[in-house]
Amino acid sequence: MLRLLLPVAGLATVLRAANISQRTFGIDYGCNCFVKDGRPFRYISGSIHYSRIPRYYWKDRLLKMKMAGLDAIQTYVPWNYHEPQMGVYDFSGDRDLEYFLQLADETGLLVILRAGPYICAEWDMGGLPAWLLEKESIVLRSSDSDYLAAVEKWMSVLLPKMKPHLYQNGGPIIMVQVENEYGSYFACDYDYLRSLQKLFRQHLGDEVVLFTTDGASQLYLRCGALQGFYATVDFAPGGNVTAAFLAQRSSEPTGPLVNSEFYTGWLDHWGHRHSVVPAQTIAKTLNEILACGANVNLYMFIGGTNFAYWNGANMPYMPQPTSYDYDAPLSEAGDLTEKYFALREVIGMYNQLPEGLIPPTTSKFAYGKVHLQKVGTVVEFLDRLSPAGPVKSTFPLTFVQLKQYFGFVLYRTKLPKNCTEPTQLSSPLNGVHDRAYVSVDGVLQGILERDKSLMINITGKAGANMDILVENMGRVNYGRYNNDFKGLVSNLTLDQDILVEWEIYPLDIDGAVNHSIHGYPDRPKRSVGNPVSYETPTFYTGTLLIPGGIPDLPQDTYVNFPGWTKESPAEGASFPHVATLQRHKETARPGGFPATGDL
Ligand SMILES: *[C@@H]1O[C@H](CO)[C@@H](O)[C@H](O)[C@H]1NC(C)=O
Ligand SMILES: *[C@@H]1O[C@H](CO)[C@@H](O)[C@H](O)[C@H]1NC(C)=O
Ligand SMILES: *[C@@H]1O[C@H](CO)[C@@H](O)[C@H](O)[C@H]1NC(C)=O
Ligand SMILES: *[C@@H]1O[C@H](CO)[C@@H](O)[C@H](O)[C@H]1NC(C)=O
Ligand SMILES: *[C@@H]1O[C@H](CO)[C@@H](O)[C@H](O)[C@H]1NC(C)=O
Ligand SMILES: *[C@@H]1O[C@H](CO)[C@@H](O)[C@H](O)[C@H]1NC(C)=O
């Protein structure tokens, strides 16, 4: 069998190699257009981030994009998603970028790859790994030698994987973006861009089109564009398309017009309303862009979800929520919207829409209420959450110093004096990054929060345990505050005195939820004097049953938390509760923190 098959496989390789030689993609400055396989080519593309969609659904979402008439997709590669610890790489499961590229290719979509190293993307630290901050003084996105060394090492892993997927090598990738909106960053370091150019050329060769993306203004293009990279711009609907492309012309007097991020909606921030942009506004500007022969990428075509701890934040500190719905043409759940059909109609005026059925919206199932039982407080589970025990330090340490990059860390110290009257606990240098739940001997005192609440009053006896549970709500993804250290990044004071002698517990919440939080706490509930307060952060557990006898279950669902909040400290000191659901069958909709309520 094997011997018979081998020559056939060999023949296929020869034919494919012969066809590859006809595959070309480049820029024609004479016709102000791209040329693909020797013919003028214009793309209509849509953004989809594989890191924000479960692998299970990649194919469905790509097919819906194809059926909207798109030629291409655009995706970011988040460095920190693939190199979670220095030198530890992960390209498996939901991180299997090469499989994603293969699916796009099979669906008939070209790929515009935004390879970073920095991506912004409303993603934790703009895609840069937090471990870069182990050098405290590092200047990110510059010629800083430690930063560049880490970039070179990462790109020597990523880019060789990408090379076989380039269009001229038989794959779907037609262009590769370097950095992102670099002209909006303070450093304006051309040597950095030159180093990246050298690195990308070294790994990908001279043929591939390398490009940059910046805001549509000479102000941004000044530091974002570099000879050897094709300069493209990004701009929103509703503005003056001619003026925006004139800005691109200031850097590229000839060549194709490209809007690399044409916004179909907008991002959200915690505590703010969901952003909504009407479909008609987008359809009208899209038509104007396409009418002038320009190339466009719709950002986002599907936003998806910030799973786990991957959301970023803006300054003054405003984290993004779990949802990255973006009011995009395909909803966070991948559903077809009115906007999808409105934009498809515009695209259909310029591209032939593919024949066939648009995959239908996935069915959803209402599983009903899930009752949650209190299991125990974070403090009661401390031994299991922090098996190695506390790190002792005179002054507080940051997450990076503890080598814990995400989630929660508990800082404990003993009250140095009797605080019979309300006594000021403060963070004079605004160093609680980002939100701290403060309790004294298990009794809730209040919340400290970055940029919002720098001081609270506490009471308690000398020697009582003061616990400060600090939550990392996502690293700043944009601008000069990218070096975003987490935890207690400066000293706390009680009255005017600096608090010292800390016991710091790094918490492995995910591991504990996986394994052991379902049982009973290690510690007996506190008895005399200190009744357990469930006002402090607490684990709950509940069981979601997938009913039998109904075909096609499990199906997707939505989680609702009636009456649950994450209020800003000013609005009141109500605590979020960390809940766990034991799943008998995996539902098709993984969430950030699974929790209570109607399903
Ligand atoms: C090569 O191209 C020819 C014509 O374009 C096509 O018929 C053939 O199937 C292709 N071969 C492979 C292996 O893709
Ligand atoms: C759009 O910008 C162009 C170029 O700056 C200008 O000539 C034109 O008047 C503008 N159109 C509108 C409607 O403002
Ligand atoms: C705190 O107050 C108690 C009485 O409530 C007293 O015994 C103790 O000495 C005081 N401790 C300090 C450090 O002042
Ligand atoms: C803290 O308590 C003092 C009185 O002891 C009071 O003046 C102040 O307003 C309180 N501050 C807060 C934030 O509650
Ligand atoms: C805390 O204060 C001490 C003493 O002033 C200082 O040496 C230390 O650097 C401070 N720590 C932080 C994290 O700010
Ligand atoms: C939790 O369990 C899942 C499935 O067994 C595993 O893939 C994941 O790595 C675990 N996470 C942690 C933090 O242990």
Give the pLDDT confidence of 108-133 residue by residue, as tens digits.
999 999 999 999 999 999 999 999 99
Over 80: is that where the pLDDT of 249 sits?
Answer: yes
Q: How far apart are CA 514 and CA 245, in angstroms?
A: 51
For residues 373 and 577, give the distance between their C-alpha atoms in angstroms, rounded to a whole number. 12
Q: Look at the chain and count its residues.
A: 599
Q: Which atom of ligand 6 is nearest to the CA of 514?
A: 1
Ligand 2 binding pocket includes 243 (Cβ within 6 Å):
yes
Higher-confidence position of 147 and 585: 147
Rounded to whole angstroms, the Cα distance separating 95 from 91 reads 5
Q: Is the pLDDT of residue 422 over 80?
A: yes
Would you state the pLDDT for residue 473? 98
The pLDDT assigned to 56 comes to 97
Tell which atom from ligand 1 comes closest to the C-alpha of 16: 13
Pocket test for ligand 2, best of 240, 245, 284 (most atoms within 8 A of CB): 240
| Residue nearest ligand 5's atom 1 by CA | 491
- Return the residue whose CA atom lies nearest to atom 10 of ligand 4: 457
Task: Please report where in the chains the tokens 């996935």 appear, as a residue.
Answer: 362
Bridge partner list, 444: 439
What is the helix (H) or strand (E) element at residue 230, kind and residue range? strand 230-235
For 395-416, write each residue's pLDDT tens digit.
999 999 999 999 999 999 999 9
Asked if the model's pLDDT at residue 572 lies above 60, the reply is: no
Asked whether the predicted pLDDT for residue 440 surpasses 60, the reply is yes
Judged by DSSP in three states, 196 sits in helix
Q: How many CB atoms lie within 10 A of CB 218?
A: 15
| Ligand 3 atom closest to 416 (CA) | 13
Ligand 2 atom at minimal distance to the Cα of residue 240: 1
Please, which pLDDT band fits residue 6 given cuts at 50, 70 and 90?
very low
pLDDT for 14 equals 52
| Residues involved in catalysis | 181, 261
Q: Which residues contact 109 (CB under 8 A, 6 or more apart)?
A: 62, 65, 66, 70, 71, 72, 73, 172
Percentage of the chain modeled with pLDDT above 90: 81
Q: Which pair of structure tokens corresponds to residue 383?
A: 């031994």
Looking from the CA of residue 15, the nearest atom of ligand 1 is 13
Q: Which atom of ligand 2 is nearest to the CA of 241?
A: 1
- Beta pairing partners, 261: 234
Q: Which residues contact 373 (CB under 8 A, 6 or more apart)?
A: 540, 541, 542
Closest Cα to atom 13, ligand 3: which residue?
417
- Is 58:51 a contact under the CB 8 Å cutoff? no
Tokens 């109500």 — which residue? 574
pLDDT value for 479: 93
The secondary structure of 109-137 as a DSSP string is: -EEEEE--S---TTBGGGG--GGGGGSTT
Between 85-94, 335-344, 423-432, 546-555, the lowest mean confidence (pLDDT) is in 546-555
pLDDT tens per residue across span 251-303:
999 999 999 999 999 999 999 999 999 999 999 999 999 999 999 999 999 99
* CA 393 – ligand 3 centroid, Å: 25
**How far away, in angstroms, is 454 Cα from ligand 4 center?**
13
Cα 437 to middle of ligand 3, angstroms: 26
* DSSP annotation of 592: S
Percentage of the chain lying above the pLDDT 70 cut? 88
d(CA 176, CA 163): 11
Q: Is 8 in the pocket of ligand 1 (CB under 6 A)?
A: no
- CA gap 120, 439 in Å, rounded: 35
Pairing of strands 33-36, 110-114: unpaired
- Which residues form ligand 5's pocket by a CB distance below 6 Å? 395-396, 490-491, 498
Residue nearest to atom 3 of ligand 2 (CA): 243
Residue 489 CA, ligand 5 centroid: distance in Å: 9
Distance (angstroms) between ligand 5 centre and the Cα of 498 equals: 8
Q: Looking at the CA of 499, name the nearest ligand.
A: 5
Q: Is 14 in the pocket of ligand 1 (CB under 6 A)?
A: no
Question: Which atom of ligand 1 is found nearest the CA of 18?
Answer: 1
How many of the other CB atoms lie within 10 Å of CB of 242?
9
Q: Given a cut of 70, is residue 579 above it in pLDDT?
A: no
Measured CA to CA in angstroms, residue 323 lies from 58, 283, 354 at distances of 17, 24, 30
Could you tell me where the DSSP H helices lie in 395-508? 399-402
Starting from the CA of residue 570, give the closest ligand: 4
Cα-only R_g, the chain? 26
CA distance 148 to 192: 8
Ligand 3 pocket, mutate which of 414, 415, 418 (most atoms under 8 A from CB) = 418
Quote the pTM value.
Answer: 0.89
**Residue 510 alpha carbon to ligand 6 centre in Å:** 8
Tell me the mean pLDDT in the region 46-62: 98
506-547: per-residue pLDDT in tens? 999 988 888 767 655 555 454 444 444 457 888 888 888 999
Spatial separation of the C-alpha atoms in residues 499 and 430, rounded to whole Å = 15
* Predicted local distance difference test score (pLDDT) of residue 575: 38
The confidence score (pLDDT) of residue 593 equals: 31
The alpha carbon of 422 and the centre of ligand 4 are apart by a number of angstroms equal to: 7
Cα dihedral 316, 317, 319, 324 in deg (nearest 10): 20
Q: What pLDDT is stored for residue 18 in this prediction? A: 57
Distance from Cα 432 to the centre of ligand 3, integer Å: 29
Average confidence (pLDDT) over 332-352: 98
Q: Is the CB of 511 under 6 A from ligand 6?
A: yes
Which pair of tokens denotes residue 304? 């998806």
As separate numbers, helices (DSSP H) first and strands (DSSP E) second, the chain gives 13, 30
**Ligand 6 pocket member 90 (CB < 6 A):** no
